[in-house]
Structure 1
Amino acid sequence: MAARILHRLRHALAGEGGREERARGSSEAEDFPESSELEDDTEGLSTRLSGTLSFTSHEEEEEEEEEEEEGAGEELGEPQQPTGAAAGAEDGGRCWGRCQGGPGRPPGQQHPGGDPRDECGPAAERPGGSLLTRQLQELWRKSRGSLAPQRLLFEVTSASVVSERSSKYVLYTIYLIRSGRFDKAPAAIARRYSDFERLNRRLRCRFGCDMAGITFPRKRLRRNFTAETIAKRSRAFEQFLSHLHSIAEIRRSPEFLEFFFLQDLRAAQRLTCTGMYREALATWANAYRLQDRLGVCGSGRFLLTLAGLAVCHQELDELGEAHGCCEQALQLLEAQGSHPLLGPFLQAHVHLAWKVGKDKRRSEARLQDLREAGPPLQQQPTLKECLIKEPLE
């Protein structure tokens, strides 16, 4: 009897425990979704990842994305993707999911985002998939420290209508700019249509073959002073000068070079002769910049420009600047045994060096050599006299 009661008691306790376990299991099932729901959510995440491109240039973030994609594939029970050359045929490394084209896209079609890495080409076959990005970054780092090649640009900055007693014309202001460098004091010229036309005619007489393919804006019988005509001619003159400068024989010709600085040299010479040294100094300085931009710093015209700068600086009591101009001229004359301006520059340099307290022994020695080899220095003109008497044709 006692054994039967004990058996029933154990059976009842066991039944209550089973019901509690079943109740606990049902509550846990309500708190946590089924594994099928987890798999569905993971599949949706996998689809979203396969159609999403990363627009980043950091290699670390790209590697993290690769690890996340590989981890997602393992959670979904997908087989591990091969690496190396085989990856290009089956998966392509980072092209996992993208090679499928995404939802609604055929294989090999680029993602609508437009990223070139979305295509499964040769770059995708390489492991890592970020080789192109690394190459571009390295190229960018190298190019930051390199200088862009310089070239001379011609820009018409303004055009004004000038009315004189018997004529009316448009005066175009052209700046000579070297690309890749900031000019604090740019070189500028002011020319009218007849100046361009004269240059075109002289160059066609001498360089007929080279000028055959270069067009020149035609002269109009009327409407020459409208804004539209002036704007079109401004652009045409810029292209005209750029074409001329691109031909080596033309840009080194006296006709082309004198178009830019001969007028300034004549004006500076007249101002110097009349004693207007401050105005002449500005004109000499602009002629200096023009010849420097055009790359003719070793010509006779450039030596004459240095002489004008030295004389004007000296007359304005700017002895240090005058001494520097004489030194630059003597460096250019170093390789020449004789030159009409060598003696005058040496005399001026010795005088200015004594004034500013600079070394003058080398110039004195060169003067002594000239005295022994040629006529007495007393018969040679001064630098100012040479400057005034120099014909500028």
Structure 2
Amino acid sequence: MASKLLDRLKRTLFKEGEACSKDPNDVTEDSFPESSELEDDTECVSERLGGTLCFDGENTLDLEEQGEASGPDSDSEFLGESVEDGFSSTETSPVGPSPGGSSLLTRQLQESWRNLRRRNVPEKLLFEVTDASVVQESSSKYVLYTIHVIQSGMFDKSPAVITRRYSDFERLHNRLRRRHGDDMERVYFPRKKLRKNFVAETIAKRSRAFEQYLTHLHSLAELQRSPTFLEFFYLGDLQAGQMLMRVGRYQEALGPLLNSLRLQEKLGCEQHGKQQPCQQQRTHWLFTLLALVTCFQELEQLGEAQEHCDRALRDLAPSAEALLQHHLHPLLIPLLQTNVRLSWKISKDKRRWEVLLQEIQNSGVDVGNQPSLKEYLIKEALVETEGDSKVKAKADNTT
């Protein structure tokens, strides 16, 4: 994929005039001055030595040694991290597929996936950079990478998409080093260059490096479950969806919320959330489902609303012992009431949830005066503490 991306970037740069003034026969290695500084693409940017994935081997890639470069030829920081200051566009993902789509979604690979599935080959995640574009915003210039997250071992009809820039990856790497020092000891990061950050070869090499970097992180069990790693993918979309809901833009909120749900599904957040210390992943998972219930309900798409409501209830339904001890999730009752109403409107069987609601009422729990799902979703704060975003919700605890 990186080689195809390199060819595309070369053609783009030529079209923009960097090489158009030359006769095609006069194009030499000097047309891409970084080619002499970088490793051959066929050898990859990384090398595995004793389990080490290294992006800056013996021949470093013209790296800067004194921190992040600044100026017009650097991947400078532009947007803040706090949601209170407005969410960064690099933390949210495009609703639709990028131009050209994923090169993996071909007829040959579809057949290959079917063959692998028949042989019971374990599924894994693939991280593929499908597009990289230079973005100029005011005095800031950076490269924006579009990454498809694809489930292998099957034909993935809905790959999730994220867009990130170099500084987003760098922030992730620094946070993981602070929180998982031992696991990150042998993980190396492609450092920033002093110059020529926007040359085609640099972008293609870095695209390949980011694919391998994410794959390596996901291969380490401790990091794979880390909230820092998981939230790098989906939390920006979740924040964006919540902000759009707050101003009543429910149709626009659906895109990031659905993408956030797909990312959480692929990353296994529902399963991780049932284990300590990843309770916040369970909260984010439920928050996403409830946000989709609210948006679909507001848009009169009652079938979709009920489907996501039912999915959330399957996760929240209490055991007989929890019911006797009144150990119920604080959003269980309003969710049950919502599901019963939706099921009645679309003529779907609602007896199971009606029975559960009646059992809760018979046990002495007041089913009136319950919080509104919409009020909870709009008021709930998705905040960052020491670099890791956490949802401080009532839903974290049971009563």
TM-score range, shorter chain: 0.5 to 0.7
Deviations 1:99-137 (A, max 9, x none): xxxxxxxxxxxxxxxxxxxxxxxxxxxxxxxxxxxxxxx
CA distance in 1, matches of 2:203, 2:286: 37
From 252, 257, 263, the counterpart of 2:225: 252
Tell me how far 1:314 sits from its aligned partner.
1.1
Alignment root-mean-square deviation, CA: 2.0
Tell me how far 1:147 sits from its aligned partner.
2.9
> Aligned ranges for residues 40-59 of structure 1 at < 5 Å?
none
Task: Give SS of 2:269's match.
Answer: coil
> Aligned ranges for residues 136-285 of structure 1 at < 5 Å?
145-285=118-258
> Is 1:317 the equivalent of 2:307?
no
Choose 379-388 or 319-328, whichever is displaced more.
379-388
CA distance in 1, matches of 2:342, 2:171: 42
CA distance in 2, matches of 1:260, 1:189: 7
2:217 aligned partner, one-letter code = L
Tell me how far 1:212 sits from its aligned partner.
1.1
CA distance in 2, matches of 1:258, 1:173: 17
CA distance in 2, matches of 1:320, 1:374: 32
1:342 aligned partner, one-letter code = L
Choose 368-377 or 324-333, whichever is displaced more.
368-377
- Residue in structure 1 matched with residue 356 of structure 2 by the alignment: 366
CA distance in 2, matches of 1:260, 1:374: 42
How many residues align? The count is 252
Deviations 1:52-74 (A, max 9, x none): xxxxxxxxxxxxxxxxxxxxxxx
- Residue in structure 1 matched with residue 269 of structure 2 by the alignment: 296
Q: Structure 1 residues 318 and 143, CA, compared in 2 at 3 Å: closer, same or farther?
A: closer
From 252, 260, 267, the counterpart of 1:287: 260
2:297 aligned partner, one-letter code = Q
Q: Structure 1 residues 205 and 326, CA, compared in 2 at 3 Å: closer, same or farther?
A: same
- Residue in structure 2 matched with residue 332 of structure 1 by the alignment: 315
Choose 364-373 or 269-278, whichever is displaced more.
364-373
Contact 1:280 1:312 in 2 (8 A): yes
- Residue in structure 2 matched with residue 103 of structure 1 by the alignment: none
- Residue in structure 2 matched with residue 58 of structure 1 by the alignment: none
Contact 2:331 2:371 in 1 (8 A): no
User: TM-score, normalising length from structure 2?
Assistant: 0.60
User: TM-score, normalising length from structure 1?
Assistant: 0.61
CA distance in 2, matches of 1:186, 1:317: 27
Give unmatched runs, 5+ long, in structure 1.
Answer: 1-141
> Is 1:308 the equivalent of 2:291?
yes
CA distance in 2, matches of 1:374, 1:158: 57
Tell me how far 1:276 sits from its aligned partner.
1.6
Identity of aligned residues (%): 58
Choose 184-193 or 254-263, whichever is displaced more.
184-193
CA distance in 2, matches of 1:143, 1:177: 15
Contact 1:341 1:386 in 2 (8 A): no
1:151 aligned partner, one-letter code = K
The structure with the largest alpha-carbon Rg is 1
Deviations 1:147-177 (A, max 9, x none): 3221111111111112212422111111111
- Residue in structure 2 matched with residue 349 of structure 1 by the alignment: 339
Answer 1 or 2: which has greater helix percent.
1
CA distance in 2, matches of 1:367, 1:231: 56
